[in-house]
Copies of this chain bind each other. A is one copy, B any other.
Amino acid sequence: MNNQFKKIHQVISSYIEINNEEWISYSSKFRVKEIRKREIILSQGDICRDVFFVVNGLLRVFFVDNDGEEKTFYFSFENTFSTDYESFLKKIPSSYSIQALEDTTVVLMSFEMLHDGYKILSNGEKLGRLLAEEYFFIFNDKVQAIYTQSPIVRYNNLTRKFPNILQRIPQHYIASYLNISSVHLSRLKNSQ
């Protein structure tokens, strides 16, 4: 099997049963894309045509608010999906941009591909359901964290969960992710 597809096969197999024949047919439609550091693969306002699966590297999902401020929404590490799922599903202009923070390899799943999968794969609808549920869980947890945890607690949880995040992501992006200013994060770190 194409080595780039090994991990995405693992992940999809963890959601649904997919036999070899189905997989060969399905995965033949994947496209692979190499993205250079800082390159943008989705621009806010464009319709998001693909779900990206990060094979290696690192993506940043962010948007620009009314005041022109960049807000980082989340980071996509290896072996996770990344997209503006609402734009993707509804075919409406995306609220987010997605940018590579490192040279990154992604596997692209188009809308047509996912929707064909609903019919072609014996568990295609189930895959769609589980992907949506998974995405929902992430956002549910995120909202809950915002309501219940102070910025410094969320920072500590983040660095505990991803110990090497500080080596890979500039601190001002992390501050933006926490929805606080970079100055404030610097203060919090050095006074706790």
Mark contacts of A142-171 with chain B using CB atoms, 8 A cut-off: 1 yes-contact digit, 0 otherwise: 111011100000000000000000000000
CB distance from A122 to the nearest CB of B (A): 11
Interface string of A122-146 (1 = CB under 8 A from B): 0001101100110111011011101
A97 within 8 Å of B by Cβ?
A: no
For residue A112, CB closer than 8 A to chain B, the reply is no
Chain B residues within 8 Å of A86, by CB: 136-137, 140
Least CB distance from A126 to B in Å reads: 5
**Residues on the B chain within 8 Å of A126, using CB:** 118, 125
Interface string of A109-129 (1 = CB under 8 A from B): 000000000100000011011
Residue among A89, A132, A135 with the most chain B CB within 10 A? A132
Q: Can you pick out 30 interface pairs between chain A and chain B where the beta carbons lie within 8 Å of each other?
A: A63-B144, A63-B147, A65-B148, A71-B147, A71-B148, A73-B143, A73-B147, A85-B140, A86-B136, A86-B140, A89-B133, A95-B144, A125-B125, A125-B126, A125-B129, A128-B129, A129-B129, A129-B132, A132-B132, A132-B133, A132-B136, A135-B136, A136-B136, A136-B139, A139-B142, A139-B143, A143-B143, A146-B146, A146-B179, A147-B179
**A136 → chain B, closest Cβ, in Å?**
4
A66 contacts B by Cβ under 8 Å: yes
Closest CB of chain B to A83's CB: distance in Å? 11
